[in-house]
Amino acid sequence: MPEAESSSTSSPDETFEVARALTNVLHSGDLLVLTGELGVGKTVFAKGIGAGLGVIANIVSPTFTLAREYKTANSGVDFLHIDAYRMNSSALDLPSELETLGIETELERAITLIEWGSGVPELLDVKNAIYVDISLDYAADLDENVKNTDNIGRIINVTGLGERG
């Protein structure tokens, strides 16, 4: 597995597919740490991971719930989707929140994805996380008439795949 993988996408569907393809090399217990500014596509990426793992339910942003756990159809590995956004703006203690929710042990079994996950592996004492950073690719302005970021491509950088074997 190469040390770092970089992809450019020009639509939400392409970002979804990059994530879905990544599930081929994930195993039980993996922790995906997503970073990148608001609206860059972290939740789109999470939906692609869920699809690749065989989650049937619609994956929605867990912004107001901290975490959602999804059963998968056949892989036997559940998908845990965490959004740590509020943790960064409040004194939320993620490890004890996960314990309160009764899902701290799921980290070892499930495939977990944390949006706004910077610093979380250290907090959770996880050594080999997979880091996914998504950024706007201003060099890829797909339609100069569109004035929001929907016309801007995304760069997806994945690191840490090699470390965790």
Ligand X SMILES: Nc1ncnc2c1ncn2[C@@H]1O[C@H](COP(=O)(O)OP(=O)(O)O)[C@@H](O)[C@H]1O
Residues in contact with Mg ion by CB under 5 A are 42-43, 61, 115
Give the residue nearest to ligand X (CB): 41
Return the number of the residue (73 or 87) whose C-beta is nearest Mg ion. 87
Among 43, 68, 106, 107, binds ligand X (CB under 6 A): 43
Contact status: 35 vs ligand X (CB under 6 A) = no
Return the number of the residue (36 or 121) whose C-beta is nearest Mg ion. 36
Q: Which two tokens stand for residue 67?
A: 């975490």
Which pairs from 105-109 meet CB under 8 Å and 24+ separation? 106/69, 106/78, 106/80, 107/29, 107/31, 107/80, 108/28, 108/29, 109/28, 109/29, 109/77, 109/78
Write each residue from 57 to 96 as x if it is in contact with ligand X (CB under 6 A), else as -, in one continuous string: ----------------------------------------
- 80 DSSP β-pair partners: 69, 112
